A = this chain, B = another copy of it.
């Protein structure tokens, strides 16, 4: 799984667990289900974290790309 372009990270992370940091100190953890060129992301079994603690379970969640700070796949 080579990653020559940044979005290859998203492609390789499909159906895997990811941590997404959003602007405003919010984080979502869950399974990456889809993404597009704007970095809009769908996460399944999403959990909202605040300061590293589980705040609530969201299930499926569509994250707007321009609020994303980073996406980190679990390893």
Q: Which A residues lie at the B interface, using CB under 8 A? A: 3-10, 19, 22-26, 28, 33-36, 39-42, 46, 58-75
Contacts and interface: CB of A to CB of B under 8 A. Distances in A.
B5 A60 contact: no
Given A19-B58, A72-B46, A39 B10 contact: no
Contact of A6 (B4, B62, B67, B71): B62
Given A22-B69, A61-B71, A75-B60, A4 B34 contact: yes
A55 to B, nearest CB: 9
7 contacts: A3-B33, A6-B62, A24-B69, A60-B72, A64-B69, A66-B66, A67-B68
